[in-house]
Amino acid sequence: MVKKIRRLPRVINQSYGKEFYHEPGTPPGMIIVDENAEKPIIFLMDYNRTDFIHKQISYPEECSNYLNTESVSWVDVQGLGSKDILQRLGQSFDLHPLVLEDIVNMVERPKIEDYEDQLVIIAHMVVPNQNNGSYYSEQVSLVLGKHYVLTVQEEPEHDCFDGVRMRINKGKGIIRRQGSDYLAYSLLDAIIDGFFPVLELYGERINDLEEEVIVNPTQKTLQKIYKIRRELLQLRRAIWPQRDAINSLIRDGSELINDDVRVYLRDCYDHAVQVMDIVETYRELVSGLMDVYLSAISNKMNEIMKLLTVVSSIFIPLTFIAGVYGMNFNTEKSPLNMPELNWYWGYPLCLGVMALVAMSLIFFFWRRGWLNNSVNFQKDFHR
């Protein structure tokens, strides 16, 4: 019986992946297949120093013909949409039921599992999405045997293994002269190096966001900051355990990995540390952008209040003068009752006094620099 996967009701970045969980009481080793997943496509690359085979396999049982030879076999399974094929694949490679469960479960934390004659590596792979500056992410499972490497990918559309395939196909480097452990290292190194193009996109987005925060911060700017923070957190969740997993592989070792390849794994670990440092740096920059955004909004409000204060300060004495001469006391009753109302030049004189007061205040604010700042703010605001 194939159970349908239930999704966790949690808002995450759609480019990162989907989150699932097993129903409580589910027995260990049960394969739960997503009904919307792609059907598995199996590719085989079998090679040695002189010979090379690359083909698509129709039946998982065909893999058994290449597992015990002296050549190195790379079986790449793309897609997780068939429980039957996955179970037959597990029988061909003699996979433990828990290994098969980890391969299908898309929320596994990157880790290393040693099963004596097999070494299981769970990793997260990211590929840049040039359309929106984000990335695609999926889980990749590697099973290392004495003469083979099995990789299982979530989707067939995106991966970062083209460089490894090219080196095997054209015989570049030393990969065709090495064993399956070097192939596993090459794939793991490609996964780690795949983070750098993604981080380059985020570096460009953060630079653009810095300029936007300083020049014209808006509500959309705040949304962009939160979105980048969330995506960087997902990247951190992907690379942090992978760094620890590679470190444990170097520290603890395995009979399937010789000392020469372990030296290369140190370089892979250094790359993982570098990725982690860049992610942490970008997270700090984005957190700083949040503070800059709040400061910019506060400064904008202060400039608005300053401009309104300047305008109010100019009109307050003018309003006072207009209010005084709007009382219209009868001058015939008393000479103290606004004799200016009967002056011939009274009205022009009152307007002149009001203009003189306004110009004096404008000159005063200009000398203090308040008026210039307000004008510049208005230009920046409407830009």
317 in a structural domain: yes
102 in a structural domain: yes
Q: CA 365, CA 306: separation in Å to the nearest integer?
A: 11
Residues 204 and 344 grouped into a single domain: no
Q: DSSP state, 42?
A: E
Torsion-angle region of 247 (φ positive above 0: left; ψ -120 to 50: alpha; else: beta): alpha
Average pLDDT for residues 154-172, to the nearest whole number? 87
| Chain mean pLDDT for the chain | 82
Domain that holds residue 350: 299-382
Residues 351 and 285 grouped into a single domain: no
Residue 332: the pLDDT is: 75
How far is residue 238 from each of residues 22, 107, 187, 195, 358, measured CA to CA in Å?
21, 11, 16, 10, 64
Residue 22: the pLDDT is: 60
Cβ atoms of 151 and 123 within 8 Å: the answer is: no
* Amino acid residing at 354: M
Residues 135 and 15 grouped into a single domain: yes
- Final residue belonging to a domain, choices 294, 316, 342: 294
Give the H/E segment covering residue 22. none
Q: CA 186, CA 206: separation in Å to the nearest integer?
A: 31
On the 0-12 / 13-18 / 19+ scale of CB atoms within 10 A, 38 is middle
70 in a structural domain: yes
Residue scoring higher pLDDT (46 or 13): 46
Residues 160 and 232 grouped into a single domain: yes
Question: How many domains does the chain fold into?
Answer: 2
Instruction: Look at residue 373 and tell me whether its pLDDT is greater than 70.
Output: no
Please name every residue paired with 45 in a beta bridge, in sequence order, or none if there are none.
54, 74
Residues 289 and 303 grouped into a single domain: no
Classify 118 as helix, strand or coil. coil
24 in a structural domain: yes
Q: Quickly state the pLDDT bin for 206 (edges 50, 70, 90).
A: very high
Q: CA 274, CA 238: separation in Å to the nearest integer?
A: 14
149 in a structural domain: yes
Tell me how many degrees the CA angle 45-39-144 measures, rounded to the nearest 5.
Answer: 40
Q: Quickly state the pLDDT bin for 25 (edges 50, 70, 90).
A: low
The proportion of the chain whose per-residue pLDDT surpasses 70, expressed as a percent, equals 88
State the sign of the Cα–Cα–Cα–Cα dihedral 363, 366, 370, 371: positive
Residues 228 and 348 grouped into a single domain: no
Write out the E strands in the chain.
Answer: 6-7, 20-21, 41-47, 52-57, 72-78, 111-114, 119-129, 134-144, 148-153
Q: Per-residue pLDDT tens for 276-293?
A: 999 999 999 998 888 888
Give the H/E segment covering residue 176. none
Residue 14: the pLDDT is: 40
Q: Which pair of tokens denotes residue 56?
A: 């698509």
Instruction: Look at residue 195 and tell me whether its pLDDT is greater than 50.
Output: yes
Give the H/E segment covering residue 17. none
26 in a structural domain: yes
Residues 194 and 53 grouped into a single domain: yes
Residue 376: the pLDDT is: 52
Residues 332 and 263 grouped into a single domain: no
249 in a structural domain: yes
Tell me how many degrees the CA angle 112-115-118 measures, rounded to the nearest 5.
Answer: 85
Q: Which pair of tokens denotes residue 95?
A: 């996979």
pTM for the model: 0.75
Q: DSSP state, 41?
A: E
- Final residue belonging to a domain, choices 254, 275, 294: 294
Q: Per-residue pLDDT tens for 283-329?
A: 999 988 888 888 878 877 877 787 778 778 888 888 888 877 777 77
Residues 150 and 70 grouped into a single domain: yes
Backbone angles phi, psi at 293, to 5 degrees: -60, -45
Residues 290 and 331 grouped into a single domain: no
On the 0-12 / 13-18 / 19+ scale of CB atoms within 10 A, 139 is buried
Q: DSSP state, 63?
A: G
For the beta carbon of residue 270, count every other beta carbon within 10 angstroms: 13
Residues 141 and 74 grouped into a single domain: yes
- Final residue belonging to a domain, choices 231, 266, 294: 294
Q: Which pair of tokens denotes residue 111?
A: 């880790």
Backbone angles phi, psi at 266, to 5 degrees: -60, -40
Q: Per-residue pLDDT tens for 36-93?
A: 778 889 999 999 988 889 999 988 888 888 887 889 999 999 988 888 888 899 899 9
Calculate the CA dihedral of residues 242, 112, 79, 63 and round it to 10 degrees: 140
1 in a structural domain: no
Residues 66 and 160 grouped into a single domain: yes
CATH code for position 41: 3.30.460.20
CATH code for position 322: 1.20.58.340
Cβ neighbours of residue 207 closer than 8 Å, sequence gap 6 or more: none
Instruction: Look at residue 216 and tell me whether its pLDDT is greater than 60.
Output: yes
